[in-house]
Chains A and B, each alone.
Chain A
Amino acid sequence: MSSSPSKPAAKASEARLDEIRKAAAESMPASVGTGSRNAPQIRGRDGYYGLPVLKAPVWTWQVPLYFFFGGIAGMSACLALVGQLFGTEAALVRSALWVALIGAAICPIFLIADLGRPGRFLAMLRVAKIQSPMSVGVWILVAFSGCTFVALLAKELILEGRGSELILGLNWAGECTSALTGLILAAYTGVLIGATANPVWSHNRRALPAHFLGAALGGAAAVLELLGFLIPATQLIGIAAAAIETLLGAGFELSRLPVNAPLHRGKSALAFRIAGVMAGPGALVLRLISGTAPARRAAAICFLAGTLLSRYAWIWAGRASAMDAGALFQSQRKSS
């Protein structure tokens, strides 16, 4: 262990451990009371002086960005596949695949930057563990990148008029696998934080995949709209995604359990509410009142900003939740 800043000259010996024990036994006074009736006391079942039980997540600012871009990339691959299936213009399919590939390329940068030891990121690839959502996610990201690359490469060759039967086959195979892994990529981040010991995350583990998928779905459509594809399909997807976010946001707001307090109080709640209004009713109203191009672009930006802020709000909520021992005890007493 080279990490210790003030490394002792030699490792503690058995004699040293005996010395510690003897010194401890001999120095013990009969009573060491503070003698003050005003010292803090532990009452009822209020925990240990109110100190936190859990540790706060150490994830840095890159992780919410990863959630955001990974989701958009994944759902963009789905838009590409479905667009191709329904014979939409090739330019949309091509752009959607580019969005997916660029997203897949920047995601690892955020993931690696967040590590305590970025130089060791390849340690993630020495095992595959189905019971670890992070391991599943890493492998899905690898698979998604590969499949999307194949799909896009084949698509570009086809558009250049070099589409043999093999290239056509590769394009379809690439797009299908890219869409499938893209769906998992957009959904798993909800499982990643849902299947933890963090109270506000694990309590909402069923809603989180829907919440993150809704954001990814609307986000992918919004990015395509901002790239100029103001077709009916992107508008309809935008409306559906904003409606989903509105419903989920209302659900989070109405659930007044103590475990959901970080969604209702403090910095995380402020960010969560602003984000919820922007991605939910804000984007929905902008889309419904007018179908004009400027309104749709405004709705797209509003939705993207809201869902990005929302990813941060969930990490902040997790930090606040880990600090609240009282809510943790209460939720466990209720469920036991």
Chain B
Amino acid sequence: MTVSAFLTDATLCIGCKACEVACKEWNEVPADGMTWTGLSYDNTQSLGASTWRHVMFLEQPLAAGPQLAETTDPFRWVFLSDVCKHCGKAGCLEACPTGAIMRTDVGSVLVQNDVCNGCGYCIVTCPFGVIDRRPEDGRAFKCTFCYDRQKAGLIPACAKACPTQSIQFGELEELQERARRRVRELRERGFHDARLYDPQETSVQGAHAFFVILGERENYNLTPAPEAPTAYLKSAWTSAVVCAGIAFGIICLAFAV
């Protein structure tokens, strides 16, 4: 099977939240509160155990960059539907001690909920703060990339419900090329701050869900240099081995004196 991907384009998103609704309904994700935050129209705040698509509403000073649509609003509007990045090298998958988190044949990262025992280690090893434990259930949950739908030849529910093709689903390399073309096209049209968010240069080794955004990555809570924590294993274990040797040496000295 081919490796599949999401391309989520902030410049096409209208903030309708159809993706959130479709995801919840298809995947039978429990309700997790509907809180008005006062932060624009965001009532979801972040991805979590029961929120697998999160529509962000960025209100910025007009000086931040060109406005996408004709509007008299005294601020710049941008929307983006955030989702699990399905990392090329996934911190959660590497750290999972039960093997519950696996790489599927379509290249996505999937939690097998009949295996997960809720140890919580994936939560601290995800560099994007995506996966979390559902308190009333005890196990960890995140976006499944609609693996069930993909196996049945259907596109993920969020992509299907998106009315503006802001969420595009397809083959990884083809979508990467489409994303690069889109950024070029946007820049030519005057959106000079258009960019692709896909951390290829770090230990995350690229995302299978990448984003076309306007402006700074940090403003979408997308970190500039995310690392898969496996990158830290060598230095931490080296220190552990050296220090264990020193500790044993101290004990020997103490008993020898």
* Residues of A bordering B, CB below 8 Å: 1, 3-8, 11-12, 14, 16-18, 20-25, 27-28, 30-35, 37, 39-49, 51-55, 57-59, 75, 78-79, 82-83, 85-86, 88, 114-118, 120-121, 123-124, 126-127, 129, 131-135, 138, 179, 183-184, 186-188, 190-191, 193-198, 201-202, 205-210, 213-214, 216-217, 232-234, 236-237, 240-241, 318, 322, 325, 328-329, 332-333, 335-336
Contacts and interface: CB of A to CB of B under 8 A. Distances in A.
B120 A116 contact: yes
A329 B128 CA distance: 12
A88 B161 contact: no
Given A21-B160, A45-B216, A233-B254, A12 B25 contact: yes
B124 A116 contact: no
A241 B128 CA distance: 37
Contact of B100 (A27, A123, A237, A322): A123
B210 interface: no
Given A194-B236, A336-B225, A134 B75 contact: no
Contact of B18 (A20, A31, A39): A20
A108 B93 CA distance: 23
Contacts of B3: none
Nearest to A216: B247
Nearest to B59: A41
B134 A115 contact: no
Given A138-B97, A202-B229, A325-B221, 19 more contacts: A3-B30, A11-B26, A18-B160, A20-B21, A22-B163, A31-B71, A42-B58, A45-B218, A51-B45, A54-B129, A78-B251, A83-B255, A116-B133, A117-B118, A184-B244, A194-B232, A213-B247, A233-B255, A233-B257
Given A48-B56, A131-B230, A8 B28 contact: yes
Contacts of B12: none
Interface string B79-120: 000000000000100111111100000000000010111111
Contacts of A216: 247
Chain B contact residues: over half helix, strand or loop, or mixed?
Answer: loop
Contact of A33 (B16, B73, B131, B136): B73
B126 interface: yes
Interface of B: 14-18, 21-22, 25-26, 28-31, 37-42, 45-46, 48, 56, 58-61, 64, 69, 71-75, 77, 91, 94-100, 113, 115-121, 123-134, 136-140, 154, 157, 160-164, 202, 216, 218-221, 223-227, 229-230, 232-233, 235-241, 243-244, 247-248, 250-257
